[in-house]
Amino acid sequence: MPIPPVLLEADFLPLWRHVSAVLDRRGLDHRGWVSLPDDVPTTVRARLKEIARGRSSARLHLAALDRGLAAHRTDLIALLDEAGCPPAGRREARDADRDRRRVRDVALDAEARARLGDEPWVQAWVGEVRSRVPDDEAARDLVGKVARVLALAGSPGERSRGEVAAQAVRWAHDLDRGGAYRRPVGLALALRAGAGHWDDPQVWAAAGMPGDLVATPVLTWALPLLGDGLATAVRAATAAGAPMPLTVLSLRAMPVEVPPGTVVTSVENPRLLEAAVQQGRTAPMLCTAGNPTSAPLLLIRRLLAAGAQVRHHGDFDPDGVAITARLAALGVVPWRMTAADYTAALAAADLDGVELRPVGGPVPETSWDPDLRRVMSRGVDEERVMDGLLGEL
């Protein structure tokens, strides 16, 4: 039987809108009492009492109304729908959303612990990405992709960001700026490293994922590479008095072989390599140009694997010491970076009347000479000791 036409008259519409709003707040299954709005006409109140067999004209018992409608083989929800004001199920939607988020959170936390570990940075990462993950399936998928990228990021950095994305994520551009996984992976890289912004190209390069394989080469001078191909070009550049930049793209395709006993000096500032070339010094050199990115790190690893000794000198400041420490962890020998070298540089600067800046922060551990960390108070740029360094090449 159809809904009684009288219930669909215009006078009833404000009431049904009110009931629909109540169901949205309290849930679609709510069948308790509902206070009637003041503007409900007397005729409407009377008709409701008849249908719902109620005793009050100020309140409507929804369960009684539903029973009355059942006699017409219909129900309250159908009535509201026919009246043009169906409830939206907002409470049910809120409950479902809460349940979805709870399931998502459990999956995200568990998957992150299983795939990424229990380190504090992992929990910080979970907190950062949680609100952007829609459900538990997406949580597991995201953690899996981030874990695969981080596994590749630990390699020497012979792949570009696009190559890593194609292998570990989905599309070659997914890790580029604006890419689907740029932010969550960048957050993981920055938090794991303990420094940097997730969108900073240096954070990506430091993790072995440069934006490309050619833009940031390592500047070299007089490398005594053996063999043919690019090694021939390197030797020819030395003969012509020209430093040779080597890209990751060229290094990963080039065998690195050097004569036994080769010593390669690594410097932080390009000015030192420039001066060595201008002075005609033929000692093998490479320049990290500050914090070493993929190309210098790759070359250093290749030289060490070939049996060369790589020694490094940098600025006497917290950043320079940190760079030296990271390279030392790879097997590079800190060179002229002792407490005695530092105090000699200070004395020379004072003698020249040079005002040196304070170090400006804590000095990292100097495992090769613990006294260096303790005595450092003012920063000494590498160029200040350039003449002494070049004299020993």
Per-residue pLDDT of 207-232, as tens digits, reads 878 777 888 899 999 999 999 999 99
Q: What is the CA radius of gyration of the chain?
A: 36
Asked if residue 335 and residue 262 are part of one domain, the reply reads yes
To the nearest whole percent, how much of the chain has pLDDT over 90? Answer: 56
3-state secondary structure of 325: helix
Q: Are residues 156 and 113 in the same domain?
A: yes
pLDDT band per the 50, 70, 90 thresholds, residue 351: confident
Which pLDDT score is estimated for 156? Answer: 61
Cα separations (Å) of 198 from 28, 77, 181, 191? 44, 50, 11, 8
Instruction: Kindly state the helix (H) or strand (E) to which residue 374 belongs, with its residue range.
Output: helix 370-375
Whether the per-residue pLDDT at 155 is higher than 70: the answer is: no
- Sorting pLDDT into bands at 50, 70 and 90, what band is 187? very high
Same domain, 308 and 272: yes
| 191: its two tokens | 């938090």
pLDDT band at 365 (very low <50, low <70, confident <90, very high): very high
- For 286, list phi and psi in degrees, rounded to 5: -140, 155
Pair (202, 266) in one structural domain: no
- Give the pLDDT score at 170: 84
Angle between helix 13-26 and helix 90-116 axes, rounded to 10 deg = 20
Beta strands in the chain (DSSP E): 33-35, 59-61, 218-221, 244-246, 263-267, 285-287, 309-313, 333-334
Q: Which two tokens stand for residue 211?
A: 């934006």
- Which of 156, 182, 206 finishes a domain? 206
The CATH number assigned to the domain holding 373 equals 3.40.1360
Q: Are residues 246 and 386 in the same domain?
A: yes
The average pLDDT across 178-203 equals: 91
- Output the CA–CA distances (angstroms, integers) from residue 182 to 185, 186, 211, in the order listed: 6, 6, 12
Confidence of residue 348 (pLDDT cuts 50, 70, 90): very high
Rounded distance, CA 82 to CA 88, Å? Answer: 14
Q: What is the pLDDT of residues 90-107, one digit of tens each?
A: 777 777 778 899 999 999
Domain boundary among 30, 57, 88: 88
| Whole-model pTM over 0.85 | no
Tokens read off for 87: 């409830």
Q: What is the pLDDT of residue 157?
A: 65
Q: Is the pLDDT of residue 154 over 80?
A: no
Regarding whether 200 and 76 lie in a shared domain, the answer is no
Tell me, yes or no, whether 213 lies in a domain: no
Domain assignment present for residue 212? The answer is no
**Together in a domain, 54 and 124:** no
- How many angstroms separate the Cα of 308 from the Cα of each of 49, 158, 223, 283, 336? 98, 20, 11, 13, 18
Q: Is residue 190 located within the same domain as residue 271?
A: no
Query: Are 313 and 336 in contact, with CB atoms under 8 Å apart?
Result: yes
Q: Which domain holds residue 368?
A: 218-391
- Residues belonging to the chain: 393
Tell which of 26, 61, 88 closes a domain: 88
Identify whether residues 293 and 387 lie together within a single domain. yes
Tally of domains in the chain: 3
Per-residue pLDDT tens digits for 133-152: 999 999 999 999 999 999 88
For the cut 70, the answer to whether the pLDDT of residue 54 exceeds it is no
Write out the two tokens for 344. Answer: 């000699």
